[in-house]
Amino acid sequence: MTSSSDSPPGPARRTALVWHERFAWYEAGIGAGFAPAGGLVQPYEPVDAPAAKARLRSLVDVCGLSEWLRLLTPTAAGEDALRSFHDDAYLERLRQLDAAGSGDAGEAAPVGPDAYETARLGVGACLLAVDEVVAGDVDNAYALVRPPGHHARRGEGVGSCLLANAVLAAHHARDRHGIERIAIVDWDVHHGNGAQEAFWDDPDVLTLSIHQEGYFPPGSGALDELGGPAALGANLNVPLPPGSGHAAYLQAAHRIVAPALRDHRPELILVCSGYDAAAMDPMGRMLLHSDSFRELTRVVKEVAEEQCEGRLVVIQEGGYSPAYTPFCGVAVIEELVGVRVCEDPFIDVFRGMPGQEATPEQLGQIEAAARVARLLDMHLDQLGEAMGRAGDPG
């Protein structure tokens, strides 16, 4: 299984993996897919079942990748940290749901026992990852958490997400470490609506999401959602048609994500990394494989090294194939470390699938998103120049 010629670095480990066994224990209520059980829905498994992420954590050990990692265990985030984004009424609701042991935290956000406690541990893992990276104890970090967070709103859970992990990590980087310019890149197959909403009118936080067009949340993630009046262009969406594969995603990464990140000049980059755009995922209708996620990570890592001393924190979002999610996550962590130790036994099948090349329709949508980003750039520059001229007494 091993193909690396390098040996593990001993104590000088420069990538952190943050994980708590509670993430594997947490069951998000009783349902089948995204429908709650009852009536005609026979109890089966909710979409965010533990197996995919638990097996990712297991594979990290079994393939030998752990030997390259600084392994960290988080503590639960305090409510003060949560209040940097969430409102009190929602936190009270989560407390009550924990007391009840089940219920729904919002739109398609069923919860099981210890939901709030587990979600607070997830936030704690993200904050710890930020602390480690900003302190320079590691170059980059991966917070392998459940439940996911990128759909969560200020006052409600959405789509299996309870607390807004990446948004809270960004606020923590600001409040605790004085970091002002942050970028959040989201390649989960669903739209990263939480960060978009949280930083809608904030020019210092670039939010950028590549996702399956028009999927979830409904009506969210269109090309023309560009940020509020004070932050026009600080939110970019790249909606891609169902069936998009490796080449389309890499085009989007090189033509939109990398230039937008360079323009933004972030001091810290956060990635919301879901694997539900993988070919084998039950939720997405995309065709990615582990090398796609590896190369997406490479693009962002290179910009981080160029712009912000490599400060990069990857946060786990979706990924619902217990068989395949682990290989996608391991590829991302390998790329963070800069090593190859794990062979993906599925990859030849997915690489050989028709659809990995970009179609004219996909390229058209990427070109449209790139044009929007370029136009914004030009116009914002022109606006800045015009305003400078207007204020110039000469």
Site of interaction with Zn ion (CB under 5 A): 188, 190, 274, 276, 318
For residue 188, the minimal CB distance to Zn ion (Å) is 4
Structure-token pair, residue 166: 């990446």
Choosing from 20, 151, 246, 289, which is the catalytic residue? Answer: 151
For the chain, first and last CA: distance in Å? Answer: 70
CA angle 43, 121, 207 (to 5 degrees): 90
For residue 11, the minimal CB distance to Zn ion (Å) is 36
For this structure, is 151 an active site residue?
Answer: yes
For residue 276, the minimal CB distance to Zn ion (Å) is 4
Give the bridge partners for 206, in sequence order: 183
Short-list 144, 125, 123, 109, CA closest to 28: 109
For residue 295, the minimal CB distance to Zn ion (Å) is 20
Short-list 230, 344, 217, 224, CA closest to 278: 344
Q: What is the DSSP letter of 353?
A: S
* 20: helix, strand or coil: coil
Residue closer to Zn ion by CB (options 103, 221) is: 221
For residue 320, the minimal CB distance to Zn ion (Å) is 8
- Give the integer Cα–Cα distance in Å for 32 and 49: 10
Residue nearest to Zn ion (CB): 318
Short-list 8, 55, 26, CA closest to 330: 55
Residue closer to Zn ion by CB (options 221, 274) is: 274
Q: What is the DSSP letter of 120?
A: H
Residue closer to Zn ion by CB (options 15, 193) is: 193
Residue closer to Zn ion by CB (options 211, 264) is: 211
Residue closer to Zn ion by CB (options 74, 274) is: 274
- Give the integer Cα–Cα distance in Å for 126 and 140: 12
Beta-strand pair 157-158/312-316: unpaired
- Give the integer Cα–Cα distance in Å for 206 and 4: 36
Q: What is the set of active-site residues? A: 151
